[in-house]
Structure 1
């Protein structure tokens, strides 16, 4: 089916290893810390809006998330937040950055089988230092020819990647968990994509039913299911 493919790109967070789960846990801790000021629902909503507002300043990743938590805490408390609480918020972020890497089922088996047959790369967004640290901890670096940490994952960003790799868009296949970031932009530029859903999705990555069902991509429930497709 994928006879033309030369490069297979893998998303990192929630495709190779667990990530979004830790953000949900951090959000719950944050809501607990601010529970005397607002309801959990309101705190979650305010934090999400602050994260979206701050993407243009901080990009994606834990550090931007922590700064958004601090800003939200100041505003939600009407600037009366205890400095000790701010310190606890900073510690939530440090704990997230120190989390062990939990590889998702089948990842290493897939990389082993595809290595040598295709050029394998990582195409992820987030904080450069954090993503490099996670890749190092994962022991997966040996499988990849190239690591691309992107500031965003829109069609134009993938076009730049294709140009950098010196291939035609039809020679690139992306494997990832986010329809919005890993699948639909690839279809748009004429590349192939395989969707491997993760049980938790950040609201910012969700797409409409129309977007979900009108694009030509494959969905598998476990990454190991990609192997028979090659």
Structure 2
């Protein structure tokens, strides 16, 4: 059974430069550095209330552009999952702060354009979370043209609650909300041909106007604050110059 979302992963050619950009955006340094000799990578991890955001240095032979590469979910028992979609199993020893953590994972073949994984950890992660104005994930956004298949995978096989399933006349598509661990997976199905895409992120803020002011002072392009689509919310969009991630800030009133 799925307990919550676990990590959002961003692949980069320059770990140091990307760390500077995200540390400026989050207004926080990474919570820890991870080294994996098994899978030959190093990464920085930002730990929030309901998600871990990881920036991973690409292997030297990778030529793909920097991008959101996938997200993972947390399970306390991978053997309890019964998934019909094809997947691969692997184990990874992560080294951090002179400790080694065994992570068992399955990589589900939802899309060739991003990686969907489920992780089981040897022991619980007790690292402190980032206490800041931006403190948690509100939702992540996927696009698809096969929403019925995703309902089968996410709700029926992974056991994630389907909180919303509706047709939106304004743009002529179907919208799904899956809820787990105080965060939402938003799926947009507008029947556009192509693979499923990991499209964007929305972050919770305690004070969106203060966050906007901080970001503008630090060189980010941020829209005006306006009422959100959901009642009693305020939103603003953020545009990164170096990192092309559709990003939304949200404050729940």
TM-score range for the pair, normalised by the shorter chain length: under 0.3
Specify which structure has the higher proportion of strand. Answer: 2
Normalising by structure 2, report the TM-score: 0.24
Larger RCO (CA within 8 A; separation ≥ 6)? 1
Q: State the TM-score, normalized to the length of structure 1.
A: 0.26
